[in-house]
Amino acid sequence: MIALRLHDVGDMRLHDEPVRAPGADEAMVRVAAVGLCGSDLHWFAEGGIGDASLERPLVLGHEPVAVVAEGPRAGERVAVDPAIPCGRCRPCLDGDEHFCLDHRFSGHGTTDGALRELMPWPERLLHPLPDSLSDVESALLEPLGVALHALELGRVEPGASAGVYGCGPLGLLLVQVLRLSGADVAVATDPLAHRAEAAHALGVTNALRTRRAGAEVLPARLRHGLDVAFEVAGDDDAVATAVDTLRPGGLLVLVGIPSSDRTSFTASVARRKGLTIAVCRRMRARHLERAIALAGRRDVELASLVTERFPLDRGAEAFTALAERRGLKVVVEPQRGAA
């Protein structure tokens, strides 16, 4: 089996290695496509994320679509939930499995991820896919689930005004689910022109190329500010823009992951407005199921967000494309031969 492992900052290497046999509750899957994420970029560029750091050569990748390779479900196309909760700790027993105190997560810590040809994974975490979704579209289902989680944290009601600050793939998915919820996505920003343009193409009239903005970017009808703002850049400028454009009593949802593992903002502005802050951590299990249903009904646009595709043996190039942010979603296809 071929696997792509991160050895050190920027050091990706292909390995030909044996496949671990599935455990009692696992199925072997053949990985068809894996979306690369901003958190994968943290591992690649920084050798870790948050308080987790590289302990050994690690297979990254937590946005896979696969085909069950053997057993009763052989041949079934599935979306793989990357989080393996313990099921025993207090958060798990309370139904908050995404806060599990003893979880494992694909491509994180010491748990190998999906940038390999074959992987054993708990069968209960393999969700059937409709034939209408292609493999590369399905590689966006995990971030779509995160967008749905963020939407839920934002307590968005029909007619609510919202801003999205950061228009990478996750921000663009959030734009779509906000609009589906009936929200008025009044403004979206990104410093990269092609990402702001993508937000405009998805229906945000006021999509701006900027890193830092204030209340002047809001339309006149929202002169008192937005009901909810989503920071999806992992950047203090985006946080500051969100704080400045929220109305008094507004809600800020932090979705992005900062490189320094610290987020800061001007306390006096947030305090004067009495803002509520929510922090989005991954997704709940139910959000992946909802993402599959939404995508299967074609309620969201996925295909146009995939701008670069690479076979596994060109995986290092895929991470270069990810680091350069020259497109939108980068997808690796382990079963596809080199171009």
pLDDT of 338 > 80? The answer is no
Interval 245-257 mean pLDDT = 96
Domains 2-140+302-333 and 144-279 share a fold: no
Mean of the per-residue pLDDT values for the chain?
A: 94
**Residue 265: predicted pLDDT:** 92
What CATH number should be reported for the domain whose range is 144-279? 3.40.50.720
Q: What are the start-end ranges of the H helices in the chain?
A: 38-46, 90-93, 135-138, 141-153, 169-180, 193-201, 236-245, 267-273, 285-296, 315-324
Which range has the worst mean pLDDT, 89-93, 137-141, 259-263? 259-263
Quick one: pLDDT at residue 284? 87
pLDDT confidence band for 335 (50 / 70 / 90): confident
Q: Which residues contact 4 (CB under 8 A, 6 or more apart)?
A: 12, 13, 14, 15, 59, 60, 115, 116, 312, 315, 316, 332
Q: How far is CA 155 from the centre of its chain?
A: 19
| Percentage above 70 pLDDT, the chain | 99
**Closest by Cα among 311, 317, 328, 254 to 117:** 311
What's the pTM?
0.94
pLDDT for the residue 259? 84
Identity of residue 244: D
pLDDT tens digits for 197-235? 999 999 998 999 999 988 898 988 898 999 999 999 999
Cα-based angle 202, 208, 213 (whole degrees, multiple of 5)? 135
> Residue 329 pLDDT > 90, yes or no?
yes
Can you tell me the distance from the alpha carbon of 95 to that of 109, in angstroms, rounded to the nearest whole number?
24
pLDDT at 50 (0 to 100):
84
Domain boundaries, the chain: 2-140+302-333, 144-279
Interatomic CA distance for residues 312 and 320, integer angstroms: 13
Tens of pLDDT along 30-73? 999 999 998 999 999 999 888 888 999 999 999 999 999 998 99
Q: How far is CA 338 from the centre of its chain?
A: 26
- Of the listed ranges 98-102, 177-181, 289-293, the one predicted with least confidence: 98-102
Q: Quick check: helix, strand or coil at residue 30? A: strand
Give pLDDT tens digits for 286-326.
Answer: 899 999 999 999 999 999 999 999 999 999 999 999 999 98
> What are the pLDDT digits (tens) for 257-270?
988 888 999 999 99
Instruction: State the CB neighbour count (10 A cutoff) for residue 172.
Output: 30
Amino acid at 79: A
pLDDT in tens, 59-69: 999 999 999 99
Tell me which CATH code domain 2-140+302-333 carries: 3.90.180.10
